[in-house]
C-alpha cells in the first residue's frame, strides 16, 4: 500500500497511476494542484524535497519521486520490465530519451498552449522543432516494431504514451505520424484507456 501524490492533468503522474492500475496495486491518491503551486507548499516539500509530482509515500515512511523511477519501482518483477537484459536496456534507453528529448518539448508545449493558453506566437519555436524530431524518431522505430522494448508492453511504452496521446493539445497533429498513432491505440488498448 502506498500513497500517490499527483495531478491528473500531468502525464508524468498518469504514467505511475497507469502502472499501478495495470498491475492491480493497492494505493491511495492525493490531488496536488501544480498550477496553484501546491507542489511547492512547505508541507509538501517537507515530504518531497524535489517539489514536484508524481511523488509516492510508502507505508514504511520512505518516499520516492520522478515518474520513471516510480514506474520502475512499482513494476519491479512484473512483465512491464522485460526479463531479457538487452530488452530491459532498450526500455531504459527510451525512458532516458523520453525525459531529455520528448517530454521537455511535447509536454512543455502542451502546458503552455493548453493550460496557460499562450498563443503560438508566444511559444518558443524550438519546442515545435524538438517535438517534431521526437515524433519522427518514434515513427522510425514504430515502423518496424509494435512496442518500444522487447515483445510486448513495457514501462517504455507507458512512459512515452503519457504525453504522446495528448500531443495534439500542444499543437502536434498525430495524423503526420501514422505508426505513432497506431501504437498509441495499441497501448491505450493494453491499459484499458481507449
Ligand X SMILES: N[C@@H](CCC(=O)N[C@@H](CS)C(=O)NCC(=O)O)C(=O)O
Residues that bind ligand X (CB under 6 A): 10, 12, 34, 39-40, 51-54, 66-68, 99
Q: What is the nearest approach in angstroms of ligand X to the Cβ of residue 174? A: 21
104/182 with CB nearer ligand X:
104
Taking the least distance from each CB to ligand X, the nearer of 12 and 112 is: 12
- Cβ 37 to ligand X, closest distance in Å? 6
DSSP the chain: -EEEEE-TT-HHHHHHHHHHHHHT--EEEEE--TTTTGGGSHHHHHH-TT--SSEEEETTS-EEE-HHHHHHHHTTTSTTS-SSHHHHHHHHHHHHHIIIIIHHHHHHHHIIIIIS---GGGS-HHHHHHHHHHHHHHHHHHTT-SSSSTTS--HHHHHHHHHHTTGGGGT--GGG-HHHHHHHHHHHHHHT--
* Closest distance of CB 116 from ligand X, Å: 13
Cβ proximity to ligand X: between 14 and 187 the closer is 14
Minimum CB–partner distance for residue 159 and ligand X (Å): 9
Amino acid at each position: 500500500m502506498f500513497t500517490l501524490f499527483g495531478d491528473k492533468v500531468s502525464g508524468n503522474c498518469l504514467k505511475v497511476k497507469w502502472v499501478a492500475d495495470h498491475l492491480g496495486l493497492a494505493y491511495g491518491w492525493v490531488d496536488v494542484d501544480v498550477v496553484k503551486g501546491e507542489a511547492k507548499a512547505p508541507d509538501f516539500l517537507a515530504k518531497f524535497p524535489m517539489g514536484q509530482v508524481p511523488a509516492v509515500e510508502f507505508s514504511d515512511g520512505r518516499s520516492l519521486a520522478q515518474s520513471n523511477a516510480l514506474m520502475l519501482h512499482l513494476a519491479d518483477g512484473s512483465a512491464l520490465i522485460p526479463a531479457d537484459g538487452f530488452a530491459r536496456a532498450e526500455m531504459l534507453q527510451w525512458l532516458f530519451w523520453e525525459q531529455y528529448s520528448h517530454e521537455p518539448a511535447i509536454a512543455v508545449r502542451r502546458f503552455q498552449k493548453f493550460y496557460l493558453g499562450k498563443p503560438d506566437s508566444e511559444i518558443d519555436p524550438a519546442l515545435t522543432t524538438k517535438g517534431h524530431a521526437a515524433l519522427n524518431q518514434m515513427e522510425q522505430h514504430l515502423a518496424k516494431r509494435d512496442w518500444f522494448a522487447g515483445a510486448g508492453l513495457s514501462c517504455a511504452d507507458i512512459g512515452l504514451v503519457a504525453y504522446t496521446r495528448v500531443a495534439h493539445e500542444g499543437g502536434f497533429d498525430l495524423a503526420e505520424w501514422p505508426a505513432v498513432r497506431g501504437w498509441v491505440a495499441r497501448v491505450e488498448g493494453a491499459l484499458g484507456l481507449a
